[in-house]
Amino acid sequence: MPAPLPDRLPDPLPDPGDDTAEVRRALVRLRGAAGVPLSFGGVVADGRHLRMSELVGNATTSLLGLVVAEGKGLGGRAIGLRKPVVLPDYYASDAISHHFDRAVQAEGVRSVMAVPVIVRRTVRAVLYGAVRENVSFGDRPVTAMVEVARDLEQELAIRAEVQRRLQLLTPAPEALAGDPADRETVRESHAELRRIAALIDDPGLRARVDAVCTSLAGGPPTGAATLSARELDVLTGAAAGQTNGDIADSLGLGTETVKSYLRNAMRKLDARTRLQAVNAARRANLLP
């Protein structure tokens, strides 16, 4: 008999639109990677309106709380163009409107660049890097800033996919218990969440995803066997019908490494075949 579904899933993960903490972490990384003394930015509501909420290395709070609409100022231009904008001399530029000159001047900014963060064709945030003197940004700081923005895009996309997978489980969990098709949805979501978890750098978010996976599997493991995270990732792929090559591609591993993890899991579960290992893992609440 398959393990029963849990009485309830863990509390929902944060709304994927609540990206403020991720934006701030990205700005801290940006300041070091691009070698700029000041970084700032915020979340973009409805893809068009930026609220400046995060400042790193600031001397004043003049930029804090500004609402920058698409087409207004440097950030608004980056939102509209959907690509990075670099201004060696903010005040002399005729490429932007100058709606926010007073706030920018109060902070002492002279040279500044802005990069939009785009997830699923929607601008979700804007990151700025700035210097308090007139400089020409070289390729290195611009490239570093774009790379930080792309990393943030991946993080936000992962969070959005986690939330989407959880929404697929509604109504959950008791309504899913009797329907094989719905149980298969649980198993597919569990497998996808395991693959996503392997990509997550944020320890807090990784722990929440792991907790969801444990709940989907029926609760804490009941058997004596203890699988490593990678062994469980590989076995989850096997349970979903993936070949060793498929599992290797989805987890970014080599095929021989996948085989090694699978052999270890089979040994720990006292199983001679992949199917036996999957069934044993389900009996032990390691898989749904």
Out of 29-33, 120-124, 125-129, 186-190, which region has the weakest mean confidence (pLDDT)? 186-190
Q: Which domain holds residue 242?
A: 169-283
**Of 157, 178, 209, which residue sits at a domain end?**
157
Both 81 and 152 in one domain: the answer is: yes
Length of the chain: 288
Both 73 and 119 in one domain: the answer is: yes
Range with the largest mean pLDDT of 73-87, 180-194, 230-244: 73-87
54-56/49-51 β-pairing: unpaired
Both 153 and 24 in one domain: the answer is: yes
Mean pLDDT of 221-242: 86
Both 150 and 176 in one domain: the answer is: no
Both 103 and 207 in one domain: the answer is: no
Both 29 and 146 in one domain: the answer is: yes
**Of 157, 179, 197, which residue sits at a domain end?**
157
Position 2 in a domain: no
Position 4 in a domain: no
Out of 14-23, 87-96, 261-270, which region has the weakest mean confidence (pLDDT)? 14-23
* Confidence band, pLDDT 50/70/90 cuts, at residue 179: low
Position 164 in a domain: no
Both 52 and 144 in one domain: the answer is: yes
Q: Tell whether the model's pLDDT for residue 16 goes beyond 70.
A: no
Position 108 in a domain: yes
* Confidence band, pLDDT 50/70/90 cuts, at residue 212: confident
259: how many CB neighbours lie within 10 A of its CB?
15
Concatenating the DSSP letter of every residue in the chain gives -PPPPPSSPPPPPPPTT--HHHHHHHHHHHHHHHT-SEEEEEEEETTTEEE--EEES-SSSTTTT-EEETTSHHHHHHHHHTS-EEESSTTT-SSS--TTHHHHHHHT--EEEEEEEEETTEEEEEEEEEESS-----HHHHHHHHHHHHHHHHHHHHHHHHHHHHHHT-S-SGGGTT-HHHHHHHHHHHHHHHHHHTT---HHHHHHHHHHHHHHTTSS--SS----HHHHHHHHHHHTT--HHHHHHHHT--HHHHHHHHHHHHHHTT-SSHHHHHHHHHHTTS--
Both 143 and 182 in one domain: the answer is: no
Range with the largest mean pLDDT of 10-14, 116-120, 176-180, 192-196: 116-120
Position 13 in a domain: no
Both 140 and 184 in one domain: the answer is: no
Give percent of the chain with pLDDT exceeding 90: 56
Nearest in space to 197 (alpha carbons), one of 205, 185, 189: 205
CATH code, domain carrying 197: 1.10.10.10
Mean pLDDT of 256-282: 93
* Confidence band, pLDDT 50/70/90 cuts, at residue 180: low
Domain count, the chain: 2
Give percent of the chain with pLDDT exceeding 70: 88
CATH code, domain carrying 129: 3.30.450.40
Both 173 and 153 in one domain: the answer is: no
Position 15 in a domain: no
Position 14 in a domain: no
Both 123 and 193 in one domain: the answer is: no
Range with the largest mean pLDDT of 28-32, 155-159, 217-221: 28-32
* Confidence band, pLDDT 50/70/90 cuts, at residue 133: very high
Mean pLDDT of 56-65: 96
Both 186 and 211 in one domain: the answer is: yes
* Confidence band, pLDDT 50/70/90 cuts, at residue 168: low
**Of 98, 127, 157, which residue sits at a domain end?**
157
Position 239 in a domain: yes
